[in-house]
A and B are shown apart, each in its own frame.
Chain A
Amino acid sequence: MSGTKPDILWAPHQVDRFVVCDSELSLYHVESAVNSELKAGSLRLSEDSAATLLSINSDTPYMKCVAWYLNYDPECLLAVGQANGRVVLTSLGQDHNSKFKDLIGKEFVPKHARQCNTLAWNPLDSNWLAAGLDKHRADFSVLIWDICSKYTPDIVPMEKVRLSAGEAETTLLVTKPLYELGQNDACLSLCWLPRDQKLLLAGMHRNLAIFDLRNTSQKMFVNTKAVQGVTVDPYFHDRVASFYEGMVESTRHNWSGLDKQTDIQNLNEERILALQLCGWVKKGTDVDVGPFLNSLVQEGEWERAAAVALFNLDIRRAIQILNEGASSEKGDLNLNVVAMALSGYTDEKNSLWREMCSTLRLQLNNPYLCVMFAFLTSEAGAYDGVLLNKYIEKLTNEMKEAGNLEGILLTGLTKDGVDLMESYVDRTGDVQTASYCMLQGSPLDVLKDERVQYWIENYRNLLDAWRFWHKRAEFDIHRSKLDPSSKPLAQVFVSCNFCGKSISYSCSSVPHQGRGFSQYGVSGSPTKSKVTSCPGCRKPLPRCALCLINMGTPVSSCPGGSKSDEKVDLSKDKKLAQFNNWFTWCHNCRHGGHAGHMLSWFRDHAECPVSACTCKCMQLDTTGNLVPAETVQP
């Protein structure tokens, strides 16, 4: 079709024929062609099949859409919708049966020329053809034609239809449609509802509309963007699918007279992924669900396998699996009864079978059996409702009571999840798991829950008591990344001896609090810009009490000290050497210097290295004598 993608249509009654609609119509026949030689004009379809060209019809240029006549006779009648809105009947058949000769070439002409987007033959009355056209301010977008009707010039004046004089002579033009529907919106897709001759589903430009031809004033609209390719589910006639830009949408209609409700579900990607993960939907059209079913059966999960088979629309296989299950060793004989019940499946909405199944299925203990019958007896709205919700609720409550952490799958890391975790901690006292879990995925408001804060605090206390200070610090760092409010503010700053201002003012990454606090100490990292004098008054920074070098002077390696004493493991961590270059001060006497120097001084001395200062700097804080427990194997 010029300007659009080619379309392929299978013949409605012959499984081995199809038509390719491009700039012309080409009829193909599929046959097996195992040998590598192909006849001229054949297309190889697969290793063992090829399509042979039977005929070509190039009578209708400007093809926009094609629909195959649904009856057995004539076989190859096609309706073609054109760019000017005319619908033409044409044929690919070799036999020109005179009975239908007058149909071939018949044209159905709308009042105003505009593109025909879609065609749909009525499945019940084979003579009815619906055409969906682009919008016209003075015309309808959906026209229903009776292909057996004749041209009646007195009803519609010739000028209005812009027929040439020659065309008017023939009886092959029809200008009056049976019905005209849908104004102000282009029609993009059409589908007749299979059970009712008079109900037409149309994907209009802005909504999905259902036209009831019995009462054309009554229309029902559903606002949705998914208006292309609307089709009715062949198994569940109240389910309709349509798409828009890659998203498929499924709509359900509830008919009770003229009182219609719609229920929209989004069959979007995530849902499909979840269904695929459960194995309920095939991962691809070429992936067979058979091996999966076999593996389930081998593990004795007959109910689940039967449910999966059913979801893949294979009732026979489901019944077969249940029978297998009943007769196997560990099987449940009742499965035979279930299979029997399943085999009575009927499409009829009001049948006794449906009634019995929908009431009795709640008595089935196994969730898969329950769901199978729910699937088959589904009414609109009740489908994914009551049954599964109850089961999930019950399961969630059980898990919460027991403090079973697998219940997290059901509750998520939400307030419910906190309740579940509380049960778990009550049982086991395991605050470590609780703290890490809640920190990991929870939104901030869940983190602010008192109980979660309590667990985290207790866990930190426990780590402190065990002297796992490094681990606790790592935990704090991890925590402040996930919950920035838990980061403590800097509490100490270093002020210049001369001007009294904080010396880290300029290189501090933390914005100033009003009090002027900033980072403690200056990092020895060579990549950061060094502060070599007070930013405020440009006077030199304090000196190290031992090596007398001003703070901020770059040093290449750990200076001074007796290297033999210092167990500096340079292979372990470069940061260790860096820390030795950091300045540190005694809070009591305010003297200090390079950390490495101070540490080595206090190994041999008790008093401060500054002359006339008798402060016993190292001994003031006895906790400092405790060795962190990092070397202890947990």
Chain B
Amino acid sequence: MFVARSIAADHKDLIHDVSFDFHGRRMATCSSDQSVKVWDKSESGDWHCTASWKTHSGSVWRVTWAHPEFGQVLASCSFDRTAAVWEEIVGESNDKLRGQSHWVKRTTLVDSRTSVTDVKFAPKHMGLMLATCSADGIVRIYEAPDVMNLSQWSLQHEISCKLSCSCISWNPSSSRAHSPMIAVGSDDSSPNAMAKVQIFEYNENTRKYAKAETLMTVTDPVHDIAFAPNLGRSFHILAIATKDVRIFTLKPVRKELTSSGGPTKFEIHIVAQFDNHNSQVWRVSWNITGTVLASSGDDGCVRLWKANYMDNWKCTGILKGNGSPVNGSSQLGNSNPSLSSNIPNLQNSLNGSSAGRKHS
């Protein structure tokens, strides 16, 4: 059963992104009011804002957490053409509940000449690394070689996508059989821009990222893209938020069959396409096991999608933006407690409500 909890976020403008940390106990929100807020969940389940500060000089589009092994680290990106990395410093107060914490900017990444539309940390097995994408169609990959020193980041790769980029997603798989991979979505509306999703793969030999696939069937502007967490599958699942919800599987063709040295070839299948939102889908997000997908759309609803044993995807729940159930929805999600709370709030309206799964 779903329980909706409303949090008065107190952002003074639209909230563009919400992100949970690795454990699902902390949340960061960012807004057009140029600030980022960090929320902590107490043992009783209430969310308290433990930090709020101005981060950029323009709308903040996205915010993301690094893996806790690097400390409490956030990255944000903004319309002001910059991305920034922030670290939490232990607070000064004697408050038992750790009162207000203090976040310090560690670095500003200024290479982009246009609005930076997404920033994502790479999977932790790749080290302390992040990628940004901008409206000028360039994806930049930065690395901090010394994890103890968060001020030193160097630009490692620049990937030109030729289309204005709107979102990126790292393939989380840490298997040695899978090379690092990043998917880029574009919302470019120019007429000659056709395929809107590109997948780049790191090549060990050339030490560069090269294009591995283009999803030719996605021709509408893409608003969000997300690889599913890979807990042991031999293939990848990619969700795309565009004019509808689409789910693709990418099965790597065995390396022996392809010429060694080239990018991996994939068998790409579309396993789901849903237009239930009946409007633009703005966000897609996976649960921790990569088995449930949440999507949000301009219809103000959040929909949950799950596959059965035969790989048939179905809608398993619909939630309104204010958390109330939709009339006639057959089942408000299953009671499988293995779903964690990593279903973040999706694109929402002013009052900053969130729909989250309560820990049982």
Interface pair A454/B232, CB less than 8 Å apart: yes
Interface pair B72/A622, CB less than 8 Å apart: yes
Per-position 1/0 for B242-253, Cβ under 8 A of A = 000000000000
Asked if B53 CB lies within 8 Å of chain A CBs, one says no
Interface residues on A, range: 20 to 34
Q: A583 CA to B231 CA in the complex, in Å?
A: 38
Q: A616 CA to B231 CA in the complex, in Å?
A: 38
Q: A603 CA to B95 CA in the complex, in Å?
A: 10
Interface pair B235/A426, CB less than 8 Å apart: yes
Interface pair B175/A454, CB less than 8 Å apart: yes
Interface pair A465/B231, CB less than 8 Å apart: no
Interface pair B289/A462, CB less than 8 Å apart: yes
Q: A429 CA to B291 CA in the complex, in Å?
A: 7
Asked if A632 CB lies within 8 Å of chain B CBs, one says yes
Residues from chain A with Cβ under 8 Å of B25 in the complex: 626
From known contacts A606-B94, A619-B90, infer whether A465 and B232 are also in contact, taking CB-CB under 8 Å: no
CB distance from B142 to the nearest CB of A (A): 24
Which residues, 403 to 462 on A, are CB-close (under 8 Å) to B?
Answer: 422, 425-429, 431, 434, 450-451, 454-455, 457-459, 462
CB distance from B228 to the nearest CB of A (A): 9
Interface pair A462/B288, CB less than 8 Å apart: yes
Could you say which of A429, A466, A619, A625 contacts B232, with CB atoms under 8 Å apart? A429
Residues from chain A with Cβ under 8 Å of B233 in the complex: 425-426, 429
Residues from chain B with Cβ under 8 Å of A365 in the complex: none
Which residues, 150 to 188 on B, are CB-close (under 8 Å) to A?
Answer: 174-177
Asked if B22 CB lies within 8 Å of chain A CBs, one says yes
CB distance from A543 to the nearest CB of B (A): 26
Interface pair B360/A633, CB less than 8 Å apart: yes
Could you say which of B230, B309, B360 contacts A427, with CB atoms under 8 Å apart? B309
Residues from chain B with Cβ under 8 Å of A426 in the complex: 233-235
Quick one: closest B residue to A607, CB to CB? B94
- Which of A603, A605, A620, A622 gathers most chain B CB within 10 Å? A622
Interface pair A458/B230, CB less than 8 Å apart: yes
Residues from chain A with Cβ under 8 Å of B220 in the complex: none
Interface pair B231/A459, CB less than 8 Å apart: yes
Q: A620 CA to B91 CA in the complex, in Å?
A: 10
Q: A623 CA to B72 CA in the complex, in Å?
A: 9
Residues of B that sit less than 8 Å from A by CB: 22-25, 43, 68, 72, 88, 90-91, 94, 96, 98, 174-177, 230-235, 288-291, 309, 311, 337-338, 340, 359-360
Closest 5 CB pairs of A and B: A619-B90, A455-B232, A425-B232, A431-B232, A458-B231
Residues of A that sit less than 8 Å from B by CB: 422, 425-429, 431, 434, 450-451, 454-455, 457-459, 462, 465-467, 603, 605-606, 616, 619-620, 622-623, 625-627, 632-634
A-B contact pairs, 20 of them (CB 8 A): A425-B233, A425-B234, A427-B309, A429-B232, A429-B233, A429-B290, A431-B231, A450-B176, A451-B234, A455-B231, A458-B174, A459-B231, A466-B340, A603-B96, A605-B94, A616-B90, A620-B90, A625-B98, A627-B43, A633-B337
In the complex, besides A465-B22, A632-B359, A633-B360, 18 extra interface pairs with C-beta distance below 8 angstroms are A422-B234, A425-B232, A426-B235, A427-B309, A427-B311, A429-B231, A450-B175, A451-B175, A454-B174, A458-B230, A459-B231, A462-B288, A603-B96, A622-B88, A623-B68, A625-B98, A626-B23, A626-B25
